[in-house]
Amino acid sequence: MSEEAPPSAPRKRPHFEPIRFGSTLRSGGMILYGALVAAMAGIAGYNYTVQGQPAASVYVAGPAIGALWFGLRLFMIMGSRK
């Protein structure tokens, strides 16, 4: 037999309450998506009016579609009931 002591039982992990970031993440997401919508709409408008790109150009349609997409995401965040 060896002189070593038997291994002790594993310790239980301490119980911590989860940190709730619900309202913080929601408001942060709304600010982020709102800024993205404004920036992409501004880029599309700038390319169309100042640069003179056609409306079907990828330089106008791309940011415009992105602004619509992030606007939809913003609408979905605002409408969530959590």
What the block records as the tokens of 57 is: 């150009």
Asked if pLDDT for residue 17 goes beyond 80, the answer is: no
Asked if pLDDT for residue 76 goes beyond 70, the answer is: yes
Whether 58 contacts 51, CB under 8 Å: no
- At residue 79 the predicted structure's pLDDT band, cuts being 50, 70 and 90, is confident
Q: Hey, which bits of 1-82 come out as E strands? A: none
Asked if pLDDT for residue 1 goes beyond 70, the answer is: no
Whether 37 contacts 81, CB under 8 Å: no
Mean of pLDDT values over 41-57: 95
pLDDT at 23: 72
Percent of the chain at pLDDT > 70 equals: 91
Which of residues 12 and 42 earns the better pLDDT score?
Answer: 42
